[in-house]
Every structure is written in C-alpha cells, then in structure tokens.
A and B are shown apart, each in its own frame.
Chain A
Amino acid sequence: MSGITENTKTSGEPSKENPSPNSSDTPDDEKKDDRMFECNICLDTAKDAVVSMCGHLFCWPCLHQWLETRPNRQVCPVCKASISKEKVVPLYGRGSTKQEDPREKVPPRPAGQRTEPEPGSAFPGFGFADNGFHMSFGIGAFPFGFFTSTFNFGEARPTPAARGTQQHMEEQFLSKIFLWMAILFVAWLLLA
C-alpha cells in the first residue's frame, strides 16, 4: 500500500487513499475536477447537463438559448460542428435526479434515447415507438383503406406512458389534425 501512496504523491494526483490529509492540495484539486464539468457557455458547473455529438458539455438552458439566437446557423459554440436540439445527449448523474418543473421558460431537456437490447427491430413501427403514434398510407378498398390506416393511432401500441410534457400535448394536437383531415377528405369524396 505504501508504494501506491508514494506513487500518487509523486504524480500529484488527488489521493483519497492517502491517510495523512494534504491540506494545501485538496481544494485546488477539487477546483480542477469541477472545471472539467463547466458549461462551455456560462462557464459555471453545468446544470441540466447535455453533451453534443461532438462531445462538448453545456447547460441545457444555455445551449437552448444559443440555438434560439441563431435559428439558421445551428453550430456547436466550441468547435462549430453542426448540432441540433434532437441530437444532444442528456447526462444523468447519480443523486441529481431532483426534477424541478420542466416547463419553466426553457422547454424540457430532450430525453435520453433508450434502445432495447434485444434485436427486435423487425416489428413494425418500431422507429415510431418514441412518438406514440403511427401513420401509414396504403392502397386498399378505396375509402376504407385510407380511413382505417388513418385511424391507426387509436390502436393499442406500445406507446411510452403519457409524460404530461409538451411533447405529449403536441402529439394529441397532431392526432386531432389528422383525424379532421381524414373526416374532411371522406366528406369531400362523398360530396364530389
């Protein structure tokens, strides 16, 4: 053990195993550790942390505001790689699950994308599992084919539990629009 302790001492790394507390080193090292998790925009420790595909860390509110500021130039503030709201990964640290109301000024941070481990990608509509509704167009017995396919979303499909988020509301709204479009279309067909 003494050998390890010596090693850590010489390399200057923070040594938690070191029984004798090296009082002058610790606060500095902690600061350094903290700095690795600074948001690249506000330079503070990242809150609601997200990471871009190019690997840069931000607070979600900061990144969101950056993307809002330049809607037609969505680039990473650090390396200018192209980024998008949909393609950031949220970081969930342990013990930081305290969920404040997500619907404040900023829209909630995008959820992590979780893929089931088994290769069951053969089942239809898999890609839509996230969205909670399924839309398909097919050629069938004329009015009915369209009708039935449009009503697919009512079907019991493995949808994610209604989150009560904005996304859920949007889905409901979209569903209604499609329903009315279908009704109008059928009405038009019958009248024409």
Chain B
Amino acid sequence: MANIAAQRIKREFKEVIKSEEVAKCAIRVELLNDTFTELKGEIAGPPDTPYEGGTFVLEIKVPETYPFNPPKVRFVTKIWHPNISSVTGAICLDILKDQWAAAMTLRTVLLSLQALLSAAEPDDPQDAVVAKQYKENNEMFQITARHWTNVYAGGPNINKDCDDKIRRLADMGIEEHQARVALSSYDWELERATEQLFS
C-alpha cells in the first residue's frame, strides 16, 4: 500500500507545482526525501488577517495508509492562533482528523489551512489561552498574532510596544521566546507576566 501513497504524492506534487496558487505564491510544497513520506509545506498568511505578509512553514508527514488516512501536518513556524498550539504547532482541523476524505490532496489541505488562518474556530480550540484571548479581548489577540507573524513568519508589521516589553524581560535574564509567551498570555501586561515568570 505504501506504493499507492508514493504514487499519489508524486502526482499531487506535480499538481501543486502547476497550480495557480503557486503562481500567486500562496502555497508551496517541497520534497524532503525521495520516498515521498516527508514534505515541507508553505502557506502565505491570508490578506486582511493578522497573518498577512507572513510565510508559515508546515511539516507534512505522509502515512503509509495515505490517502485512506490523512497526512500528519504541523506548523513549524510559531503562530498565535486559537486552533494551533503556540507550543507544538499541532493543528485542530476536522479534515486532518475524522472529516478526512480520500479525494483530498496536498493542495486542498494547504488551502484549508490557509482558510483556517482567515477563519478561526475559537469554540473548538487547540490552544485554550489563545482561544480565550480571541473571544474576550480580540483587539489584543490581533496585536499578538500580528506581532508573532512579524517575529516568526517575517511579517512586515513591527510592534514597538511589544518589542520593548520583551526587551525589559530579557534584561531581567529571561529568554526572549519565553518572555513573549508570558506577555502574550497576559495581554501584554508586564506586571502579571513578570509575576508568572518568577513565581
């Protein structure tokens, strides 16, 4: 059966390369080995979202039972999104679980993930902290997501306020990413973040 999987990935790979989304630089796929079991995906942050301008790298693992079972996909680029773990990059998306259908392809999976970035599902969260912020303080969520896009995905929007607060924690000897997570989780309130870090 591994044969079907490799055959299909080969075909899909060609399909993605030829697709118009690649022409528009919206999605990209790269092979990581010649057995077609591991691939690297890339999606562009959709316009009019905090992810705009960023490029998000995905790890795609193709199981032996593909296409009867979905590929295992995870964000390698750190991202602030209710349905994606800010720690592991694990994705909560139904089509990657029980709603998978054998006719779906790498192209449709990447496009679905791009759609997920435009339309979060905070009621079915992967990251509870992010989802809570999304629902209770959406403005702060937008700022945080945009900042993460800038730092990790090469987005254009630099937020000086965020950077300053992180530097202040860094000056206290806290690792930058750890400081960013703490501040992000506490709506960028320096005191509460510091309290949490030193408790």
A interface residues, Cβ below 8 angstroms from B: 40-44, 56, 62, 65-66, 69, 73, 75-78, 80
B interface residues, Cβ below 8 angstroms from A: 4, 7-8, 11-12, 65, 67-69, 98, 101-104
Q: Tell me the minimal C-beta distance from A89 to chain B in angstroms.
A: 18
- B8 and A66 form a contact (CB under 8 A): no
Residues of A near B69 (CB, < 8 A) are 69
A65–B8 alpha-carbon span in the complex (Å): 15
Residues of A near B67 (CB, < 8 A) are 41-42
Which residue on B lies nearest to A41, using beta carbons? B102
A65–B69 alpha-carbon span in the complex (Å): 11
Known: A43-B8, A77-B104. 10 other contacts (CB 8 A): A42-B4, A42-B7, A43-B11, A43-B12, A65-B68, A69-B68, A75-B101, A76-B101, A78-B103, A80-B101
Which one of B7, B8, B102, B103 has the greatest number of beta carbons of chain A within 10 Å? B102
Q: What are 27 inter-chain pairs, A to B, with CB distance below 8 A? A: A40-B102, A40-B103, A41-B67, A42-B7, A42-B8, A42-B67, A43-B7, A43-B8, A43-B11, A44-B7, A56-B103, A62-B4, A65-B68, A66-B68, A69-B65, A69-B68, A69-B69, A73-B98, A75-B101, A76-B101, A77-B101, A77-B102, A77-B103, A77-B104, A78-B101, A78-B103, A80-B101
A191–B7 alpha-carbon span in the complex (Å): 65
Which residue on B lies nearest to A78, using beta carbons? B103
Which one of A43, A56, A66, A78 has the greatest number of beta carbons of chain B within 10 Å? A43
Interface of A is mostly: loop
Residues of B near A76 (CB, < 8 A) are 101
Q: Tell me the minimal C-beta distance from A53 to chain B in angstroms.
A: 16
Residues of B near A78 (CB, < 8 A) are 101, 103
A65–B3 alpha-carbon span in the complex (Å): 14
A66–B70 alpha-carbon span in the complex (Å): 12
A40–B104 alpha-carbon span in the complex (Å): 9
Q: Tell me the minimal C-beta distance from A59 to chain B in angstroms.
A: 10
Residues of B near A65 (CB, < 8 A) are 68
Q: Tell me the minimal C-beta distance from B4 to chain A in angstroms.
A: 6
Residues of B near A40 (CB, < 8 A) are 102-103
A44–B101 alpha-carbon span in the complex (Å): 17
Closest 9 pairs (CB-CB, A-B): A77-B102, A77-B103, A78-B103, A69-B68, A40-B103, A77-B101, A41-B102, A43-B11, A66-B102
Q: Tell me the minimal C-beta distance from B14 to chain A in angstroms.
A: 10
Residues of B near A75 (CB, < 8 A) are 101
A78–B103 alpha-carbon span in the complex (Å): 5
Residues of A near B12 (CB, < 8 A) are 43
Q: Tell me the minimal C-beta distance from A98 to chain B in angstroms.
A: 22
Which residue on B lies nearest to A73, using beta carbons? B98
